[in-house]
């Protein structure tokens, strides 16, 4: 009897092998509340709109729409760049640790309503994440 285990494993690895979210980390000598305030001010400077805020855990998410991209799919609406940022007390001599996850989604309009499919992180989202880490970490 033949086993389908190698085939199933190959399919799973192929699907999981593409890292679509870009994660950047940095450390800051500033206390956690100051670094968190820096992150929030940088979001405004980069034209990202805050979509959620957790002041207890020092987490914030933001998004930016790109409606200039066109695709041949009639259901395609726009690209959505997302940033998920967490500011936490640091370890190993760092006062604060910043973690920024940048991702991009293609938004489509379907019969079920808006649908998002994750894509490779856009250059705009990656650049914004790098700018936040640079401005709010040790390179202030």
Mean pLDDT across the stretch 91-105?
Answer: 86
Q: Which long-range contacts (CB under 8 A, 24 or more apart) does 129-133 make?
A: 129/22, 129/24, 129/83, 129/100, 129/101, 129/102, 130/24, 131/42, 131/46, 132/39, 132/42, 132/43, 132/46, 132/83, 132/85, 132/98, 132/100, 133/24, 133/25, 133/26, 133/98, 133/100
Of 49 and 95, the one with more pLDDT: 49
Of 103 and 138, the one with more pLDDT: 103
Q: Which residues contact 35 (CB under 8 A, 6 or more apart)?
A: 28, 87, 96, 98, 136, 137
Quick: pLDDT tens for 66-96: 989 888 888 999 999 999 999 998 776 668 9
What fold does the segment set 20-136 form as a domain? Answer: TATA-Binding Protein (3.30.310)
- For residue 105, which phi and psi values (nearest 5 degrees)? -130, 145
- CA 36 – CA 116 distance, rounded (Å): 28
The pLDDT mean for the chain works out to 85
Structure tokens at 38: 């820096």
């Amino acid at each position: 009897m033949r086993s389908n285990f190698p085939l199933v494993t190959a399919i799973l690895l192929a699907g999981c092998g593409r890292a679509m979210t870009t994660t950047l980390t940095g450390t800051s000598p500033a206390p956690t509340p100051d670094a968190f305030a820096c992150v929030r001010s940088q979001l405004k400077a980069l034209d990202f709109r805050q979509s959620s805020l957790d002041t207890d855990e020092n987490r914030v998410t933001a998004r930016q729409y790109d409606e200039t991209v066109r695709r041949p799919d009639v259901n395609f609406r726009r690209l959505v760049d997302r940033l998920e940022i967490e500011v936490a007390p640091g370890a190993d001599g760092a006062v604060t640790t910043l973690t920024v996850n940048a991702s991009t989604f293609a938004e489509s309009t379907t019969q079920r309503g808006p649908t998002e499919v994750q894509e490779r992180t856009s250059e705009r989202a990656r650049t914004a994440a790098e700018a936040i880490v640079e401005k709010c970490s040790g390179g202030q």
